[in-house]
Amino acid sequence: MNLHLVDIGLILVYFIAVLLVGVYNTRTDSTSDYMLMGRTLTLPAFVMTLVSTWYGGILGVSEYSTSYGISNWVIFGLPYYVFGIVFALLVAKKARALEVNSLPEILVSDYGKNAGRLASVWVLLLASPAPYILTLGLILNYFLGLNLVIAIIMGAVFSLFYILNGGLTSVIKTDKLQFILMFAGFLVILIVLGGTYMSPIDLWHSLPDSHTSLTGGQSFAYILVWFFIGSWTMVDPGFHQRVYATTTPRIAKRGILWAVLFWFIFDMMTTLTGLYAFSYLPSDTIPSQAFLVLGNAVLPLGLQGLFYVGILATVMSTLDSNTLVSGITLGKDILSTFSSFKTYSTHVLIKASMLVVIMMGIVMAIWIPSVIDLWYTFGTISIPALLIPTLFSIFKKPLSQQAVLLNLTIPPLASLLWFLFGKIDEWSYFWGLEPFYPGLFCSLLILILFKNSHKEASQ
């Protein structure tokens, strides 16, 4: 790919700006401030960081919207609005009132250290930076022609520079910039396409049924499992972290509702861009690269760089957030609970853990080189383990310790085995059942079997 020096300059200015904003006046020696900004997150900053960190897998959106049209919105948009609104109305205030520092702490307080450690394993999967390391690597590979593995490593290492210094403060400060850039980038390409190619209405009438259908040709069972994976919102560790960091429970509730509105707007922008890509580009275009190819094909000097900066902002905002959350989970919620690590401060363990999770993310990004597959795999395994125990604790309806430990063990194992057997059998799952369902079924079964055990134990 050949970029003009002006566009390359814009991209370089973006990276320098992110680095400077993330490093300037962000250093803190307080572990609480490092993790949660001292719980001083205001409404505008909360909305901007929640929106910007929700879209890191932009090439996955490129792949799906170009290939399957508006079903991209059905799968990657609608479920998250539903669960986001549920979280805002029913969970946000209660979760903020707990005054915890991380999601596993909720389970530790009700069920003990072992429950917290088990929960942390699944939180590590949900918060893995791997999909976003892969996305950034693919973008750098496309821009610079680098070997994909080298590009993945370069992108991952860069993301560490500023968050190591300031923690959540660095993330929030850069997210404000990323929020503006991601919307500006996609607005630019849509305006250009609407003015030089065809209007959105004409585009819609020119599309085949495969791209105007809500299912996109996918099976109902496949779409339904993605809807349930949308419950990821309820146990997303980055989502929880920002709720805990707000100044008041009321800001947490209002902020999520505003975020859902901005999610909807951005989903409309990215899905429409995918429809334009399908219509405009040759049929042999690689779907995951469609946004990048489209920008190169239709945007003039300068605007092309702005669009690519918008894509990079979308990725970087999620990558740095997930790296921090994963570091907190491994360092504070797992390592610091073992006596062999007591000689190290939690602050040091978190920073060291971020290095570890970045290396783990690099390995997973190389091993599973598909953003959508990474999302699907992590969500399928982790959500059935975390969903019920977390919500029951937030609503002050704790289960028995035995039930929770079983829930954190059996459901994810059931989903994982179902997934692996399906992979061995050429992705043909038993009875056509997606792996998420056996895990969720096991979780519900454990809930039913042990629903009275907590009461009996207390009598």
Higher pLDDT, 25 or 108: 108
Q: Assign 458 a pLDDT band (cuts: 50, 70, 90).
A: very low
Q: How far apart are CA 432 and CA 428, in angstroms?
A: 7
Higher pLDDT, 339 or 29: 339
To the nearest whole number, what is the mean pLDDT of the chain? 88
Give the residue-averaged pLDDT of 255-271: 96
State the CB neighbour count (10 A cutoff) for residue 99.
8
Residue ranges of domains in the chain, CATH in brackets: 5-370 (1.20.1730.10)
365-369's contacts with Cβ under 8 Å and 24+ in sequence apart are 365/130, 365/131, 365/133, 365/134, 365/137, 365/152, 366/148, 366/149, 366/152, 368/130, 369/134, 369/148
pLDDT at 452: 55
Q: How far apart are CA 135 and CA 233, in angstroms?
A: 21
Residue-wise pLDDT for 188-220, tens only, equals 999 999 999 999 999 999 999 989 998 888 777
Give the residue-averaged pLDDT of 399-403: 89
Compute the CA torsion angle 72, 80, 235, 454 (nearest 10 deg).
-120
Answer whether 75's CB lies under 8 Å from 63's CB.
no
Structure tokens at 12: 């370089």
Higher pLDDT, 273 or 361: 273
Higher pLDDT, 370 or 31: 31
Residue-wise pLDDT for 383-398, tens only, equals 999 999 999 999 988 7
Is residue 373 over pLDDT 90?
A: no
Q: How much of the chain, in percent, has pLDDT values that exceed 70?
A: 96
Is residue 364 over pLDDT 90?
A: no
pLDDT at 453: 52
Higher pLDDT, 298 or 375: 298
Query: What spatial distance separates the first Cα and last Cα of the chain, rounded to whole Å?
Result: 70
pLDDT at 130: 87
Structure tokens at 422: 């399906």
pLDDT at 231: 85
Choose the most confident range, by mean pLDDT, from 43-52, 98-107, 125-134, 417-426. 43-52
Q: How far apart are CA 61 and CA 314, in angstroms?
A: 11
Q: How far apart are CA 103 and CA 126, in angstroms?
A: 12
The residue whose two tokens read 């599309």 is 207
Q: How much of the chain, in percent, has pLDDT values that exceed 90?
A: 51
Answer whether 140's CB lies under 8 Å from 11's CB.
no
Is pTM, for the whole model, over 0.85? yes
Structure tokens at 30: 């307080």
Is residue 86 over pLDDT 90?
A: yes
Higher pLDDT, 439 or 23: 439
Is residue 427 over pLDDT 60?
A: no
Q: Is 296 left (phi over 0), alpha (psi -120 to 50) or beta?
A: alpha
Give the residue-averaged pLDDT of 352-357: 92
pLDDT at 428: 67
DSSP for 45-57, please give it. Answer: HHHHHHHHTT---
pLDDT at 352: 92
pLDDT at 268: 95
Residue-wise pLDDT for 274-291, tens only, equals 999 999 999 999 988 999
pLDDT at 192: 96
Is residue 243 over pLDDT 90?
A: yes
DSSP reduced 3-state for 402: helix
Give the residue-averaged pLDDT of 423-432: 67
Residue-wise pLDDT for 135-194, tens only, equals 888 888 888 778 888 988 888 888 888 788 888 888 999 999 999 999 999 999 999 999
Q: Assign 426 a pLDDT band (cuts: 50, 70, 90).
A: low
